[in-house]
Amino acid sequence: MRLNGEISYEDEGEVERESETQKLIVGYALTSKKKKSFLQPKFESFARNKGIVFVAIDQNRPLSDQGPFDVVLHKLSGKDWCQILEDYRQQHPEVTVLDPPDAIKHVHNRQSMLQDVAAVKLSNCYGKVDVPKQLVIKRDPSSIPGEVAKAGLKLPLVAKPLLVDGTAKSHELSLAYDEFSLSKLEPPLVLQEFINHGGVLFKVYVVGEAIKVVRRFSLPNVCRRELSEAAGVFNFPRVSCAAASADDADLDPCIAELPPQPLLEKLAKELRCRMGLQLFNIDMIREHGNSNGMGKCQSMSRYSRTFF
């Protein structure tokens, strides 16, 4: 399946209805929370005008007995569901599954999710994409100060849970200002060097070849004085959620400027090929005061309602 361009609701009344033979049937298996946020009436009406029909998958019936589907869109977890979906893919290779369970595993672990980004080594005339220097700690919090010193990481450090399981806790982060506080953190976790980025994060949504970028408020810059005076670990809720939108904020143009589209297209293409995913998003920041267009990918995840 190939999706091009962006979808806007503004021209809904002008869209001609597709004929019955041109309909695209999308079977969906979503959590109740995701279904409520994603399949809103206005969106479903707009999709129908585009010839796209969403059909709920009954998890109590064999998947092969349902449909036929052109696309299976899912966001469920569990070994049984993954096996059902993998069997279905083998039996119905003509159906596009968004996305294969084995490919999704890449973004359930913060250690593996950025390995492909780092391997891309993307740099061209539009800028460079890199990942923050990071360290994985799987156990023994008392060893963290020594491991940080050995790895040469500079304070402050952003601490994130290693696994991303869809819970609110897995999206929380902490900022550790001094080495004495590091042993208070709870492994397994990923430590990343904090990079001043003007308090703005770019959430890059990828759907096939289509790319959509939105601005989100993020952690503020940390000045030298604050670093010398602050101590302890500070916890933060999810900073990149939709409620933190900065698209309509009055921002410094140098901070608000979106990453170059050619750079994003190249990055998205490379990641689609490496990970086998068609539906994902990337959190990117631009180092504050850096004029060479360098961007750093902080994390990746699967889709949310903002994709469409």
For the annotated binding site for Mg(2+), the residues are: 283
Helices of type H across 67-162: 79-91, 101-104, 110-113, 115-120, 144-151
Strand order in the sheet with 295-301: 123-124, 127-130, 295-301, 279-286, 200-207, 210-217
* 182 closest CA partner among 144, 137, 132: 144
Other beta carbons within 10 angstroms of residue 6's beta carbon come to 11
> What SS3 state is found at 275?
helix
> Annotated binding site for ATP: which residue ranges?
110, 160, 192-203, 218
> Annotated binding site: which residue ranges?
34, 75, 110, 160, 171, 192-203, 218, 283
Cα dihedral 87, 61, 105, 204 in deg (nearest 10): 120
Q: Is residue 301 exposed (0-12), middle (13-18) or buried (19+ Cβ within 10 Å)?
A: buried
Between CA 187 and CA 159 the distance in angstroms is 9
Assess contact for 100 and 82: CB atoms under 8 A. Answer: no
Between CA 185 and CA 152 the distance in angstroms is 18
> Annotated binding site for 1D-myo-inositol 1,3,4-trisphosphate: which residue ranges?
34, 75, 171, 203
Between CA 196 and CA 289 the distance in angstroms is 9
Instruction: Calculate the CA 301 to chain-centre distance.
Output: 3
Q: Is 199 left (phi over 0), alpha (psi -120 to 50) or beta?
A: left
